[in-house]
Structure 1
Amino acid sequence: MMYLPYNYTKYPIWLTIDVEEVEDANFGITPKHPLRIDYAAIINKWIVFCQKHNISSTAFVLGSFAKKYPHIIKALHKNGHEIACHGLRHELVYNLPFDEWQRETQDAKKILEDIIGQEVIGYRAPSWSMPFEKKYYEALVASGFRFTSTYFPFKTYMYGNSIDKKSPFVITTPAGTITEIPLLKNIIPFSGGFYMRVLPFFLIQRLFANLINQGHKPIIYTHPYELLPHLFTRFRKDVKLDVAYFLTFFAVENSLQRFDKILKQFCKDKI
């Protein structure tokens, strides 16, 4: 049986945020000293933004972030955002021994459940890095997860799959079933992260429209550090200037502005 989260079924676009610290990104950011970022203020900005559009997001929260900032997770939960699991550490799943990944995922789930006092049933692997193999989905089912949004239908050097899946699908395992909700692409990914920030906006609008007209539900994804303007110049003295810096920080000032336009265009009078 297919299970779809409430926020996915309610809104024309599924709004998601991967809640983690900038140092967690797998691009290899190397701070020269600890970065001073007010994550509570950033998440509050996200909450206010969602309230403005009368929409709730699904927050895939890293266990280590939740342990450090439990008050932030409580604020998200209190304001109607679904809390889901993003793993314990932001380690690439395929680099971890299977048993270690399984144990850490269960630990992260419990951390989140203890904070919000409610069962956590959704999962997204860090950097879409979970192998598309049944044993991983079986472990998720056995741990109490009912859906995952980990399938990235575009092959990159770090993550992704070559088969383009556009609709949620059920994976049957010996432990039971789980629904996979894949990120959508239209030739290329476009609805989050670096792709959303740098592609021409007229192209992003067209790609959203094409998928929606075909009956598909786009998924927007972002991260807390993408919601603050001027990060590209703000941390220029604090981190190593390399490709990782460019991929993580470039054009972050575009994120909320673009989300705002997309939600106004495709969700107005539909929420």
Structure 2
Amino acid sequence: MDVEEAQDMNFNIKWKKTPDIDYKEPIEWFIKHSKNKTATAFVLGSFAKKHPEIVKELSKHVEIASHGYFHKLVYTQNFKDWEYELLKSKEILEELTQKEVIGYRSPSWSMPFEKRYYEALAKGGFKYSSSYFPMKNYLYGNEINKKKPFIVSTKYGDIQERPIPKDIIPFSGGFYMRVLPLFLLKHFFKKHKDAVMYIHPYELIDKNLLRYFLKYAHINLDYFLAFFHLGSTRKKIKEIVNG
């Protein structure tokens, strides 16, 4: 799970006002349905500062990893600013949970596939990254199609990169999982037995979400990409996890 607030997403959504969302209930749902499963929560430092009790509770049940401090596209940031926020998020999460943070996922898989970023991760005490999206789109992704976990060696140590799974198209989370029919998702997850699923807390709100978010945001294409078929997320996750 990428633990962030709805307004943190990088889609070009024109917000009327900040969404008033209780994130406790959807995260409790995630905890319940993660039992006896391997799960990681990639938490924004800013979310942890705002919702410390939620993150503390999460840490009792799943691994806590860093999602950076703010949900900024890494390729738009100055490298030193990104590195500072990376270490700041790690420090906040470790202080809050009293556990070592060794994993990182860049916001929207936006970390450039360059050695210096992996060096910064290794130097900062990280062991793995899940920042590689094996397909290019207008917002994120890589043109080099690496589908399996691989090692990036640096002078500070090795970082394991764990790409998001992809078949002919990505399928394991976000818009892709919401738009694809359940039978096709089951086929892909059965075919890719090591596939990881990714979700966001706002995708698990138990409401008619497309209509719910109308009071907070103007409609455009990115609004559609962000909120289309959100009501299907819980059902699909239960079917896939239990299957």
Paired letter, 1:63:
G
Residues 1:60 and 2:42 are matched in the alignment: yes
Q: Which residue of 2 aligns with 1:47?
A: 31
1:89 corresponds, among 65, 70, 80, to 70
The CA deviation at 1:73 is 0.4
> TM-score, normalised on structure 2?
0.96
Aligned 1:174-185 pairs, distance under 5 A:
174-185=155-166
Instruction: Encode CA deviations 1:56-110: one digit per residue, 9 max, x unaligned.
Output: 41000001000000100001012x2100000000000000000000011000110
Q: Which residue of 2 aligns with 1:225?
A: 202
Contact 1:91 1:126 in 2 (8 A): yes
Question: What's the % identity of the aligned pairs?
Answer: 50
Q: Name the structure, 1 or 2, with higher relative contact order (CA <8 Å, separation 6+).
A: 1
Find runs of 4+ consecutive structure 1 residues off by over 4 angstroms: none
Aligned to 1:235, the other structure's residue is in SS state: helix
The CA deviation at 1:237 is 2.4
Residues 1:253 and 2:237 are matched in the alignment: no
Q: Which residue of 2 aligns with 1:200?
A: 181
Q: Which residue of 2 aligns with 1:25?
A: 9
Contact 1:18 1:221 in 2 (8 A): yes
**Which segments of 5 or more consecutive residues in structure 1 lack a partner in the other structure?**
1-16, 266-271
Residues 1:168 and 2:149 are matched in the alignment: yes
| Partner Cα separation in structure 1 for residue 182 and residue 210 of structure 2 | 19
Contact 1:165 1:184 in 2 (8 A): no
Residues 1:238 and 2:204 are matched in the alignment: no
Contact 1:152 1:183 in 2 (8 A): yes
Contact 1:63 1:88 in 2 (8 A): yes
Contact 2:44 2:68 in 1 (8 A): yes
Contact 2:7 2:18 in 1 (8 A): no
Contact 1:23 1:30 in 2 (8 A): no
**Which segments of 5 or more consecutive residues in structure 2 lack a partner in the other structure?**
none
**Aligned pairs, number:** 242
Contact 1:167 1:182 in 2 (8 A): yes
**Mean Cα displacement is larger for which, 129-138 or 167-176?**
167-176
The CA deviation at 1:35 is 1.3
Contact 1:149 1:183 in 2 (8 A): yes
| Partner Cα separation in structure 2 for residue 46 and residue 190 of structure 1 | 19
> TM-score, normalised on structure 1?
0.87
The CA deviation at 1:195 is 0.2
Instruction: Encode CA deviations 1:192-247: one digit per residue, 9 max, x unaligned.
Output: 000000012221122222223xxxx1010000000013110112122111112111
Paired letter, 1:254:
S
The CA deviation at 1:32 is 1.2
Aligned to 1:218, the other structure's residue is in SS state: coil
| Partner Cα separation in structure 1 for residue 12 and residue 91 of structure 2 | 28
CA RMSD of aligned residues (A): 1.1
Q: Which residue of 1 aligns with 2:112?
A: 131
